[in-house]
């Protein structure tokens, strides 16, 4: 459903919050790992090399934003992607960056020719 423009202030704030949540490198790394499937906090710690406290803090932010979900099994906590549209945003950004890099490469090629 298309939104009315200009966007209402509350919607602008929600969009900005979502970008702040996913705009942190450690969170992007965690999301990329979870793209493969559900992982425990310990597995995420091992794969990122970050501390358990740091990983848990970032997972908490992603959980609060509704991007990841969690389940507890015994003493382990497992996280999974709850809102896969976050990857659509990443793909758009990556595509845009690729276009910019390609254009810059063409400009550099022309400049040295």
Q: What is the pLDDT of residue 55?
A: 98
Q: For residues 60 and 110, what is the distance between their CA atoms, to the nearest angstrom?
A: 48
Q: For residues 59 and 5, what is the distance between their CA atoms, to the nearest angstrom?
A: 33
**Count of domains in the chain?**
1
50 in a structural domain = yes
CATH number of the domain where residue 69 is located:
1.10.10.10
105 in a structural domain = no
72 in a structural domain = yes
State the pTM of this model.
0.84
Residue 4: pLDDT band by 50, 70, 90 thresholds?
confident
Question: Residue 21: which domain range?
Answer: 9-83
Q: Which long-range contacts (CB under 8 A, 24 or more apart) does 74-79 make?
A: 76/40, 76/41, 76/42, 77/40, 77/41, 78/38, 78/39, 78/40, 78/41, 79/30, 79/34, 79/38, 79/39, 79/40, 79/41, 79/44
107 in a structural domain = no
Helix axes 25-35, 85-112, angle to 10 degrees: 110
98 in a structural domain = no
Q: Mind listing the pLDDT tens digit for each residue in 51-69?
A: 999 999 999 999 999 999 9
């Amino acid at each position: 459903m298309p939104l009315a423009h200009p966007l209402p202030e509350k919607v602008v704030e929600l969009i900005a919050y979502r970008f702040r949540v996913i705009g942190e490198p450690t969170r992007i790394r965690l999301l990329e790992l979870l793209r493969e499937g559900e992982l425990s906090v310990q597995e995420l710690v091992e794969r990122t090399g970050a501390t358990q406290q740091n990983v848990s803090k970032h997972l908490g932010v992603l959980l609060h934003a509704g991007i990841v979900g969690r389940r507890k099994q015994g003493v382990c906590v497992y996280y999974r992607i709850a809102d896969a549209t976050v990857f659509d945003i990443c793909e758009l950004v990556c595509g845009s960056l690729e276009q910019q890099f390609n254009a810059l490469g063409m400009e550099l090629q022309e400049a040295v020719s």
